[in-house]
Amino acid sequence: MEHRDFGYNVIPPISLACRHTGMDLMVRVLKTGYDAPMRALEFGANGIMVPHCRSAEEARQWVEWVRFPPLGKRGLDGAGADADWGFADTREHIKHANEEVFLALQIEDREAVECIEEIAAVPGFDLLFVGPGDLTLSYGVPLEFNHPTIE
Amino acid in the structure at residue 137: L
Distance CA 16, CA 143 (A): 36
Distance separating alpha carbons of residues 25 and 14, to the nearest angstrom: 8
Exposure string (b/e) for 56-81, b if CB count within 10 Å is 16 or more? Answer: bebbbbbbbbbbbeebbebeeebebb
Task: Write the CA distances from 54 to 41, 45, 61, 96, integer angstroms.
Answer: 23, 23, 12, 28
Q: Which residue from 134, 32, 41, 20 is spatially nearest to 96, judged by alpha carbons?
A: 41
Closest CA relative to residue 1, chosen from 24, 22, 32: 32
Residues with a catalytic annotation lie at 3
Q: CA 5 to CA 15: how far, in whole Å?
A: 18
